[in-house]
Each structure stands twice: as structure tokens, then as C-alpha cells.
Structure 1
Amino acid sequence: MAWISLIFAGLFEMFGVAMMNRLNQKRNWQSVVLLVLGFGASFLFLSYAMKTLPMGTAYAIWTGIGASGGALLGMFFYGESKDWKRVVCISMVLGSAIGLKLIS
């Protein structure tokens, strides 16, 4: 269950990052509320996962999902570069997160 919570934490982290971009585009209270809810849910799921998983592993995977997911969201929805070098770096981050899962 902790791993599922950690995945949800990463997904809410991605949502929070997307809402940061929305807040930069639209300065309104809905964007602020969605931003706070996204990051709040992310921290809630992360804290639940850390009751079972080692802190270093949980944090590394959470940040890996958030960073990779944020980069992918930028590439697919916000017109950021899809250069092969970026894709390789994102793959390395995800590969590291999978490696941590396999040895934990």
C-alpha cells in the first residue's frame, strides 16, 4: 500500500507543478486553491508512504516522479522541447527510481 501511496504522491506532485504553470498564466483564486490542494495531497500521500518505506527511497522516488512528470507535462502540453537529450535524462531519472524500488 505504501508504494501505491507513493505513486499517488508523485502524481499529485505533477498536478501541483501543472497548477504552478496555470497560476503563472491565470492569476486567480481557483489556480491558487488547486495548487495548494495538489501539493497538499502530495505531501499527505508521501507522509503515509514514509511510515513504511525508508525516507531516502521514498523521497527519491517522489521527486523522480514529480520531476520527470513535470518535464513530460511541459513537453506534451506546454510546447517545451522534445529533444532526445531531455528524453534520455528523463529516462535515467525513471530508471533510477525503478532501481531503488528493486533494491528496497
Structure 2
Amino acid sequence: MVERALFKAGVELAKLRGVVVNPSLINRLKLIALKLLQTTATKILQLGRDYASRLLELYNRNGVAKWFPHIRSLLRDPDYLLWLGVKQTAMRSIGIGFD
């Protein structure tokens, strides 16, 4: 909600002045714009990558990666990352998301 208001204010400022010169505001607006341009598939893949990263950290810490080295390549497989992302999306939709 705050990001949406900041983005609208930034757009209005650019309309009034013709340009936004504050580097901090430009960076914030750029991040918000990139977030808005993300597709659903991109968001799902990013959720999958984030979850895979946490899993790999957990498996390394607990020694699973030593006795099952194939897990590293599995956690980089785009199809598996997509599945993890879809799973995370479904879990979040019912209120069981992991952040």
C-alpha cells in the first residue's frame, strides 16, 4: 500500500516537474516499477529459488548433501524450482507460507 502511494506520488511529481532528480527516490521508484513488471511465472520461480536455497542450506547443515550429492543439481533444475514455487504459492494461499 505504501509502495503504491509512493509510486503514484513519484509519477505525479514527474508529470509536474518533468523529471525526478532525487537519486534515493529514483532508486525506490525503479525497484517498485521492476516489482510491478514481474510476471506471475517470474514470481513463482523466484519463490522456488528462495525455497531451494533454504533447503540446500538446511541439507548442507544436516549432512544430507554429503550422502545425496544429486540434491544440488535437483535444487537447480528449472522444473523442480517451478514445482517448489507453485507449492509455496499454494501453501501461502491457505496461510501456511514460509518467509
In the superposition, the TM-score normalised over structure 1's length comes to 0.34
The structure where helix makes up a greater share of residues is: 1
In our comparison, the structure showing a higher alpha carbon Rg is: 2
- Which one scores higher on RCO, CA 8 angstroms, separation ≥ 6? 1
